[in-house]
Structure 1
């Protein structure tokens, strides 16, 4: 297969032993499919030395072969996958007696390497093993079937690429018991996701456990990474957001305290008042009745 063609037309090739969809238009900056295909290789069939512009994953359905990257040759068989990195020279060769058949998907985007990392691949680790043959090959077949250039098919190919990668990620994390340590996103993204969830839902009766259930991680893990990123616990962050909103409403409106309590996520006005006093240092009523005075000074405090 040659992916170096610079034509502006998308190319779809189909024969009894070979299917390939190439030169797809870039339709996302995050993650997009460049080309995909499947092939039943002839004995000893060799591709390369060649250089790719995108990340390229081959998944072996049957047979055997070898993959050479960065001077290292690896023997592969059924249900193995191998990764080709952009801008590197690689060679792969079908076995002379039991030639392999495989499917492939080439993709790129700002999330491409992140997805690969979650599936166990890296610049140092190019080979993985995945037993979900039926699910993974079905994704590539669906991409190939959606070769007509319509908006709907663009979405089909994009979704099938995501499912293809998600299947590998799920199997890798399950088989390597990495969910607790690696999860589905990086630490920063998890913590930011939780913070965004709070900002969007502080007015509801939510708890830290609700956040964990929504995001899909344990409370202890969320608390750990949230403190590392935001330097407070998720509960203190939620409390801070609620009290900041309540303070603004107390200062700028004449709404009853009970209504303000409900607007920041408290069904019980007494519980709200207790939390407000704990955080702000005074009751909601006293806070509303107080007036701030600006003091100007030319002297630096010691």
Structure 2
């Protein structure tokens, strides 16, 4: 479980070019495990304190304060907080065709998942600004998109040229094929048996190999993708909870509510109850951030 302040932008005129889609700050509990998530955003995470581990398709990295990691659109990246010193981090989700070009200009390689920054405070200041512009007005939308540009500008000045040493996590071809099917052919109602049929492998054998290499069952892996879809739809659309449940493959709103609460620590209704669209289950507000960090 994690305790978060989260804000999602429901619509944005600049989404095709460079726009903010969401932002937030979290303090996780021990062993909080998130991902994969099939989002269309580029999500930049900045570790403020504690430790955790990031798992990509073939590698894993241990990160701590001052490090960051990038979740690319429709990535299978997964991340887990440490047992002894679980991390807290903030994040910015960006959309737009300009982002790959800016990443290349920054020197961030196409397959690079982690990075380090000299100072996290500039990003905290930007988060504070984000949480001051949570209405649906055009003025706030323009302010948020200016913050998206500022986030990349800060990254360009704060990025450290530190190469992190990964731990290799080779995957067998059948697991790669199964993940590819889940990610690229995902649909409500997808099952482990359907995945096994698509990759032409015995279901029991695929399940054993998948769990051994990924650490999750195929069912658990699919469930996390369902929940990530639900999270995005609840935060950035006006669809009813029942409609979101159907779209994500749940039989009804009650099933979504039960699984969402078990994973996130709050219900879909609680997620949406703020008129501004901002969720705060940290028990902390923007005033706290301003006072704590001199923002």
TM-score (norm 2): 0.51
Q: Check if 1:108 corresponds to 2:84.
A: no
2:5 equivalent in structure 1? 19
Q: In the alignment, which residue of structure 2 is the partner of 1:286?
A: none
Displacement of 1:56 in angstroms is 0.9
Distance in 1, Cα, partners of 2:19 & 2:78: 24
CA distance in 1, matches of 2:90, 2:118: 14
Residue 50 of structure 1 corresponds to 37
Residue of structure 2 in register with 1:64 after alignment: 51
* Correspondence for 1:86: 73
Summarize deviations over 1:77-116 as a string: whole Å, max 9, x none: 1011101111221210111111111111111212111222
**What's the offset of the Cα at 1:52?**
2.1
Conserved? CA contact 2:9–2:20, under 8 Å: no
Q: Any stretches of 5+ residues in structure 1 without a counterpart? A: 2-14, 177-302
- Which SS does the other structure have where 1:51 is aligned? coil
Aligned length, in residue pairs: 160
Distance 1:45 1:90 in 2: 14
Query: Which structure 2 segments of 5+ residues have no match?
Result: 162-295
After superposition, residues 242-253 of structure 1 pair within 5 angstroms as none
The aligned runs of 1:1-302 (5 Å cut-off) are: 17-28=3-14, 29-172=16-159, 176=161
Contact 2:20 2:147 in 1 (8 A): no
Give distance in 1, aligned partners of 2:122 and 2:151: 8
Cα displacement (A) at 1:171: 2.8
2:175 is matched with: none
Deviation at 1:144, TM superposition (A): 2.1
Aligned equivalent of 1:200: none
Deviations 1:138-190 (A, max 9, x none): 11221122111112211211111111110111233xx55xxxxxxxxxxxxxx
Change in 2 beyond 3 A, CA 1:77/1:120: farther
- Structure 2 Cα separation of the partners of residues 170 and 27 of structure 1: 27
Contact 1:115–1:169 (CA under 8 A) maintained in structure 2 = no
- 2:187 alignment counterpart: none
Which residue of structure 2 aligns with residue 7 of structure 1? none
Hey, what's the Cα distance between the residues in 1 that align with 2:122 and 2:74? 29
The residue matched to 2:77 in structure 1 has which SS? strand
**Which protein is bigger by CA-based radius of gyration?**
1
What SS class does the counterpart of residue 81 from structure 1 fall into? strand
Shift of 1:117: 2.4
TM-score scaled by length of structure 1: 0.50
